[in-house]
Chain A
Amino acid sequence: KNQVEQSPQSLIILEGKNCTLQCNYTVSPFSNLRWYKQDTGRGPVSLTIMTFSENTKSNGRYTATLDADTKQSSLHITASQLSDSASYICVVSGDRGSTLGRLYFGRGTQLTVWP
């Protein structure tokens, strides 16, 4: 079954600290993996997108890594800011056949940054 699991479910950190969010998936065949940030009351916004051939991709203070062999990804946030408080959603895209064009969503990690 094609699934995306994220951990932790929620996380609280102090402003300025770093944190790492995890994503494990079983989607196959796999096309790409995305991390989205969703602020409260807003639609998701893409942070990074990686294909199976990419190991790491950065977007400012956000760095995503991908291990296509173990089907794991992480999102590392450095020097957190209050505005980082949001839900971070891992999304895996299928490549062909029954998974073509489909997106498989994780349930998200709710990150709260305290001053």
Chain B
Amino acid sequence: DTAVSQTPKYLVTQMGNDKSIKCEQNLGHDTMYWYKQDSKKFLKIMFSYNNKELIINETVPNRFSPKSPDKAHLNLHINSLELGDSAVYFCASSQFIRSYEQYFGPGTRLTVT
């Protein structure tokens, strides 16, 4: 009965590889987000999708490509991974784009070696 789930929880990979992180929410929400949390614990929004439509796209390298096959899923694909991509990536969802409440997933710790 997990509200927002992410897979995998841990991801260790080498520079130059391509990897994907999956996110699913079973709350019936319209809006989903991807955040990056760096080693200093600073959370920064990367993308926001509302009803499968890209709403927010912060200054993120185009090696990062979000894909929303349906309202309940927002996956993050990363090409040509770099050392600086190592971080914890959080998926979140909210009922609407202006909803006060956002529900976060457990995070995916990505380590690039």
A residues contacting B by CB (< 8 A) are: 31-32, 34, 38, 41-46, 49, 51, 87, 89, 93, 100-103, 105, 107-108, 110
User: Could you tell me if A43 and B98 are in contact, using CB atoms closer than 8 angstroms?
Assistant: no
Interface secondary structure of A, over-half rule: strand
Closest to B6 in A: A43
B7-48 vs A, CB cutoff 8 Å, 1 = contact: the mask equals 000000000000000000000000100000000111111001
Tell me how far the C-beta of B78 lies from the nearest C-beta in chain A, rounded to whole angstroms: 19
Task: Give complex CA distance A87, B88 in Å.
Answer: 15
In the complex, which residues of chain B have a beta carbon less than 8 angstroms from the beta carbon of A49? 100-101
**Interface band, chain B:** 20 to 34
- Chain A contacts for B42, CB-based, 8 A: 105, 107-108
Say yes or no: B104 contacts A45, CB within 8 Å.
Answer: yes
Report the nearest B residue to A105, measured CB to CB. B43
Measured CB to CB, the closest approach of chain B to A114, in angstroms, equals 20
Q: Which of A32, A87, A101 contacts B56 (CB 8 A)?
A: A101
Query: Can you list 30 pairs linking A and B with CB atoms under 8 Å apart?
Result: A31-B98, A32-B100, A38-B41, A42-B106, A43-B92, A43-B104, A43-B105, A43-B107, A44-B43, A44-B90, A44-B104, A45-B104, A46-B102, A49-B100, A49-B101, A51-B100, A89-B43, A100-B98, A101-B50, A101-B55, A101-B98, A102-B45, A103-B102, A105-B42, A105-B44, A105-B45, A107-B40, A107-B42, A108-B42, A110-B41
**B112 beta carbon closer than 8 Å to chain A:** no
User: A41 vs B107: C-alpha distance in the bound complex, in angstroms?
Assistant: 8
Query: Considering the chains assembled together, what is the distance between the CA atoms of A4 and B4 in angstroms?
Result: 26
Q: Which residues of A contact B4 (CB under 8 A)?
A: 43
Chain B residue numbers with a CB within 8 Å of A93 are 100
